[in-house]
């Protein structure tokens, strides 16, 4: 697939910098001066708690971590809370027991934290999970993203509770606690990812087209797909299928939109239903489910729209057999084929 991911503007009024400006391109003096000017500007905003985008926050917080000047620590700035969480979570999410072998980044080097640091980090993650419970327990968030991640997480926790049983043995209690904590921490990380995804594109870039229908990728779509189909390590007991590296979560709208354009151009899918779109990409079968939903638009009232509900690799044998029995596979190019219902 072509590289469509070079430059994106952030669609937030208060943002001062484009995402591609928030990168140190080389070690030249000119480049260091350019990025230091941005850093100083963001530092003044951080001190006064002025609004910044998530990308600006990450750039600033990484600068604080790498700085050899008197810029303080990331703990000195509330805007670095999400950055700190993401960095620690990514070092421990595969094993939250605190008993494993862990790697962390310091400057430009990787090191193994000692027992004291591991214990401190695990305590921090426990506290983050406990605090996140209060956020996701709220059922009437004004923010759509928080509303969707809260609903998804509550459902996940309910499923964990169903397997709780009597917890007669200590090891079972520990396993239950770790599963619950893993779900909460993963939920917060997905929320942080989604915040950045919606900064990267204009809203119109989350509307893709097939067979004359506008299909919207919204907060529900992103949270559902990230939570259900990009969480293999944190959901070892899930029956859901998980994406491989062919589809990057940050660029799903661009990648799916490009695939839809290729499908449209082939002519094979003309007049076919958009309710379920199944295709093979790089020898893996996928399905996208689209449903008509209703939303309230200011000045228009309730309107109907097509929402992309989910997107997943098809691995369940019964579903794969159904594709083979009911559909013909039409090759579009070396990477992409589309399933067309048999006449």
Q: Whose CA is closest to 254, among 200, 314, 214, 189?
A: 200
In tens, the pLDDT along 123-142 reads 999 999 999 999 999 999 99
CA dist 289 and 3 (Å) reads 25
In tens, the pLDDT along 204-243 reads 999 999 999 999 999 999 999 988 867 554 454 544 544 4
* pLDDT confidence tier of residue 166, bands split at 50, 70 and 90: low
In tens, the pLDDT along 104-119 reads 988 778 999 999 999 9
Helix axes 170-200, 54-66, angle to 10 degrees: 110
As beta bridge partners, residue 293 has 305
* pLDDT confidence tier of residue 6, bands split at 50, 70 and 90: very low
Token duo for residue 35 = 């990025």
What pLDDT, on a 0 to 100 scale, did the predictor assign at position 93?
93
- With 70 as the cut, is the pLDDT of residue 1 above it? no
**Residue 313 half-sphere exposure, CB side, CA atoms within 13 Å?**
18
Over residues 85-94, the mean pLDDT reads 95
| Sign of the alpha-carbon dihedral angle for 25, 26, 30, 31 | positive
Q: Whose CA is closest to 16, among 107, 2, 43?
A: 43
Q: Where are the beta strands (DSSP E) in the chain?
A: 104-106, 109-111, 207-210, 213-216, 276-281, 284-297, 301-313, 327-331, 336-341
Per DSSP, the residues of 181-232 read HHHHHHHHHHHHHHHHHHHHS-GGGGEEEETTEEEE--HHHHHHHHHHHS-T
As beta bridge partners, residue 337 has 280, 331
In tens, the pLDDT along 271-322 reads 999 999 999 999 999 999 999 999 888 888 889 999 999 999 998 999 999 9
Token duo for residue 23 = 């990168």
**Phi/psi at 276 (5° precision):** -135, 120
Three-state secondary structure of 40-55: HHHHHHHHCCCCCCHH
Mean pLDDT score of the chain: 88
Q: How far, in Å, are 96, 99, 119, 121, 123 from residue 116 at the CA level?
A: 15, 12, 5, 9, 11
> Global pTM?
0.86
Q: Please enumerate in sequence order all residues whose Cβ is within 8 A of that of 175, keeping only pairs 6 or more positions apart, or say none.
A: none
Q: Whose CA is closest to 318, among 282, 287, 291?
A: 287
């Amino acid at each position: 697939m072509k590289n469509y991911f070079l430059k994106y503007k952030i669609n937030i009024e208060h943002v001062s910098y484009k995402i591609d400006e928030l990168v140190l391109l080389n070690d030249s003096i000119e480049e260091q001066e350019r990025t230091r000017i941005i850093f100083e500007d963001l530092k003044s905003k951080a001190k006064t708690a002025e609004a910044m985008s998530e990308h600006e926050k990450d750039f600033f917080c990484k600068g604080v971590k790498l700085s050899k000047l008197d810029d303080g620590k990331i703990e000195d700035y509330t805007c670095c809370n999400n950055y700190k969480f993401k960095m620690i979570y990514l070092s421990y999410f595969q094993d939250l027991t605190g008993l494993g072998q862990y790697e962390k980044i310091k400057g430009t080097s990787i090191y193994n934290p000692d027992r004291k640091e591991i214990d401190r980090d695990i305590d921090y993650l426990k506290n983050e999970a406990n605090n996140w419970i209060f956020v996701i327990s709220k059922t009437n968030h004004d923010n759509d993203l928080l509303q969707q991640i809260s609903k998804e997480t509550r459902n996940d926790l309910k499923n964990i509770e169903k397997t709780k049983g009597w917890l007669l043995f200590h090891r079972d209690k520990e396993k239950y606690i770790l599963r619950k904590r893993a779900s909460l921490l993963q939920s917060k990380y997905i929320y942080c990812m989604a915040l950045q995804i919606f900064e990267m594109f204009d809203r119109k870039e989350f509307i893709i087209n097939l067979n004359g229908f506008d299909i919207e990728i919204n907060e529900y779509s992103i949270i559902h797909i990230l939570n259900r189909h990009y969480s293999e390590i944190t959901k070892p007991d899930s029956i859901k299928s998980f994406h491989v590296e062919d589809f990057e979560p940050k660029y799903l709208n661009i990648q799916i939109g490009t695939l839809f354009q290729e499908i449209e151009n082939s002519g094979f899918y003309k007049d076919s239903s958009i309710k379920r779109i199944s295709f093979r990409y790089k020898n893996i079968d996928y399905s996208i489910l689209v449903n008509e939903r209703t939303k309230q638009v200011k000045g228009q009232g309730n309107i109907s729209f097509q929402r992309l509900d989910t997107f997943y690799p098809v691995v369940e044998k019964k579903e794969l057999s159904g594709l083979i029995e009911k559909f013909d596979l039409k090759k579009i190019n070396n990477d992409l084929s589309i399933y067309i219902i048999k006449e």
